[in-house]
Amino acid sequence: MKRLTLTLGLLSLAAVLAACSGAPAPATASPPAASSAPAGEAVTIAAKDVKFSQSELRVPADKAFDLVFDNQEGVTHNVAIYTDSSASTKVSVGEIFSGPAQKTQSVPALAAGTYFFRCDVHPDMKGAIVAE
């Protein structure tokens, strides 16, 4: 009787071990594919009717990117990025130009956080850039 109990005990232990080893491995943090992507990811924003096409841009944190500004009208605009809405600390200020034309500005890597952008010619044209 004692021997049978021992055998059953071992069998159940073996079953538990088998179940464990058969379980999917815990999700290990594999690097996201994006981290191996080449730099130079582009974000596009347009201007028309003295408005930007978006009031929020999302960009990858800690990675330089190209900002393509598509000025669709014959009015001068630019895209100027500042650390916050006081517009006192510049991050990347694009050239002011009249459209229709497109220009690309290289924006340095941004630490995760929320930044402010506007058109320096028309400060009411503004929005947020979220680096995440």
Q: What span, in angstroms and rounded, lies between the C-alpha atoms of 73 and 100?
A: 5
Cβ distance to Cu ion smaller for residue 35 or 124: 124
Side-chain-side CA neighbours of residue 4 (13 Å): 1
Q: Which of 59, 119, 129, 131 binds Cu ion (CB under 5 A)?
A: 119
# residues contacting Cu ion (CB under 5 A)? 5
Q: Is 122 in the site for Cu ion (CB under 5 A)?
A: yes
Q: Which of 46, 60, 77, 129 binds Cu ion (CB under 5 A)?
A: 77
Q: Which residues share a beta bridge with 126?
A: 118
Residues near Cu ion (CB under 5 A) are 77, 119, 121-122, 125
